[in-house]
Amino acid sequence: LSRAQAAFERALAADPDDVEVLALLGALLLERGQLEAARSKLADALARSPGHAFSAVTLADLEARAGNLAAARALLEQAAAAHPEHLKARKGLARLLMSQLPDLNGRDVLDPTCGSGNLLVTAARHGARVRGIEIDPRLARVARLNLQLPLLRPQWLKKPR
């Protein structure tokens, strides 16, 4: 990692405005546990290119590790809104939100418009007994399949009358 860091620093010396190199150096510093230096590089990259998803997601990871969950959430929401196709931003946001769920063990969760069952799957993974209703038979079928994943305990899923 030391050689990679030195290479990134040389590249920045040649072109201090290179957002990609700033972001990659920030990610490397985060990996090395140098949180403040990483935060500085990633924030600089975002200041130069506010829509840079990799910088936002990596900085969000840093903020979450540091316990700044509100800052992490804001960064992930911004990245996911600006780049809906950016899977890491969306997954990071989902993981962050799931980590903040209360203990659902043994509780009942009803989703009256469950769609493909994402909320039900999340609740079931946190120990809830889940129930869903979906009017669209195709989505109800997908939800049933999603709820058959290992370790999930769906109670029922039905179409409304």
Six-digit token string for 61:
């990871």
Residue with tokens 């969950």, as numbered in its chain = 69
- pLDDT tens digits, one per residue of 6-31: 999 999 999 999 999 999 999 999 99
- pLDDT tens digits, one per residue of 92-146: 887 788 778 788 889 999 999 888 888 888 888 888 899 999 999 999 999 888 8
Q: Cα–Cα distance between 49 and 45 in angstroms, integer?
A: 6
Q: Cα–Cα distance between 28 and 8 in angstroms, integer?
A: 9
DSSP 101: P
